[in-house]
Each structure stands twice: as structure tokens, then as C-alpha cells.
Amino acid sequence: MSLTVKQIEQVAVELVEAARTHTPIVPLSERFSDVSYEDAYAIQLKTYDIKTKSGVVIVGKKIGFTSRAMQLQFNMTEPDYGMIDDTMVTREGQPIPMSRLILPKIEPEIAFLLKDDLAGPGVNAAKVLDATAGVLPALEVYDSRYRTWTANIKDSISDDASAGVFILGGRLTPVQDLDLRLVGMVFERNGGVVSTGAGAAVLGNPAESVAWLANKLAAYGISLKKGEFVMSGSLVPAQEVKAGSFFRATFDHIGTVSALFE
């Protein structure tokens, strides 16, 4: 690690305050010239140590950069991940105020609801499906507590993989006899189609994405818990969010989910 424990704690405190006040701070990469992946994840874990001590509850996990094209763009060899707490989940149909966001973008994903714990190493797609109660259509509004989007992936990791707001559709679909690779999706903004995609865009299979996360977290002594949901990664490029925007994702076999911003 390149940063000191004190520096890690200071950045974590600032990120928690930035999230609370919706006031962005200077990006990590602009403050320190030599930041490691270990530093970035240490900051993320410290932010959640602070949050959970204040009563926040972790309800899920998210995976980002599951597209090979995005990994190449940001010089990555694997996805990244973040935590989801109860304050980040909003009810579908409840307008999302822009005042709680800083630099928001939105993307459609398949969310996995777990019926059993999943702990790596050795987790594969089959084990993920066996531990899954069902999947839901979902939207992730990813956001930044830093004042600008940067091309530095360590900024994103330290900032909880840019986790923002999460909207889950109301329909839970069992995964038996459902080939998630072939689940098609149509993404609309204000009634017009902006993109289409399929589950195979997420590491070839969204279940593989969840397996990757379970194995990655094992190195930190963390597992995926029964009752948590896991955002497996976007099927298509994200869209910018503006006040008055209405987004809807329609997934073959698993239903629809929408979000309105005001």
C-alpha cells in the first residue's frame, strides 16, 4: 500500500461526508500521485466501516466494468465492485430528486437475490444459480462523490465503485430453466429506445459476474450473504441523467423497471 492508514481514514471520512451533503470533493488521483488498488479498496472498506457504525445496513453488492470494452478503455484486467447500503435503494415509482445526486448516469442490470450465502474461493456460475432465489430487473444510477469523472479506475473503486441509487423491479423470477445469457433488454428514455442488449454482454453470463465477485471478496474475508441482492453489471452503455428524464428497461422473461428524475 502507498497511502498511510491516516490518509486512508481521512479520504474515507471525506467521502462519507460528501455523500451525506451531496457536495463533491477533489478526486483521489489529484491528491496522491501513487495510489494502489489495495489503497482504493481500503478506502472503500473504511467508508463502510464508518457507515455501519452509524447504523447503515449493507443490503447488497454491485459489480462494475463487466464489459471487456470498458476494461480495455480503463486499462483494467477485471471488473470492480462496491457495497450497497439501505440508504441507496429507492422505491420504483418514487421520483428521484436531482438534488441528492452529483454526476449521475443510469444503466440497466439483472439483479440476483440470494437465498444462501456464497463464499469463495471456488464459486462458479452453477453455484451462483443454486444459491439464487431469483432475478429482478434493476436500474443503477451510478454517481461520483468526486467533483469530476476521471479515467482513473482507482478513483471509482475508492468511491464505492461509484455506487449511487438502485431501483429494483417488483417481479422476482426463478432462474431454473432461464438462460440468462439470452435474456434480451430494451432500454428507453422518455419513450424512445436508446439501446438494446442481452445478458451475454455481462462477462458472457451474469451468473459468471456474481461468481467473480464471490471469489474476489474471499481475499478480504467477505462473503455474499443470504438475503442480499447483487447487481451483476450493465448490459449496455450508461445514459446521462437530467431532471425530467424517465427511463424504463424491459427485460425478456423477467419484467420491467423504471425511474423518474425531478
CB 80 within 8 A of CB 64: yes
Reported confidence tier of residue 201, pLDDT bands at 50, 70, 90: very high
Helices (H), 58-205: 68-73, 125-130, 153-158
pLDDT for position 207: 98
Mean of pLDDT values over 124-131: 98
In this predicted structure, the answer to whether residue 74 has a pLDDT above a threshold of 70 is no
Residue 149 corresponds to which cell in the numbers above? 469523472
CB 1 within 8 A of CB 35: no
Reported confidence tier of residue 72, pLDDT bands at 50, 70, 90: low
Residue 2 corresponds to which cell in the numbers above? 502507498
Residue with cell 438534488: 99
* Domain 57-260 coded CATH 3.90.850.10: yes
Mean of pLDDT values over 146-165: 90
Q: Is the pTM of this model over 0.85?
A: yes
pLDDT for position 239: 95
CA proximity to 163, closest of 220, 86, 260: 86
Residue with cell 469530476: 148
pLDDT tens for 166-191 read: 999 989 999 999 999 999 999 999 99
CB 237 within 8 A of CB 179: no
Q: DSSP label at 22?
A: T
**Which range is least confidently modeled, 13-17, 67-71, 116-120, 200-204?**
67-71
Residue 190 corresponds to which cell in the numbers above? 422518455
Reported confidence tier of residue 1, pLDDT bands at 50, 70, 90: low
pLDDT tens for 84-117 read: 999 999 999 999 999 999 999 999 999 999 999 9
Mean of pLDDT values over 160-164: 94
pLDDT for position 79: 84
In this predicted structure, the answer to whether residue 242 has a pLDDT above a threshold of 90 is yes
pLDDT for position 71: 65
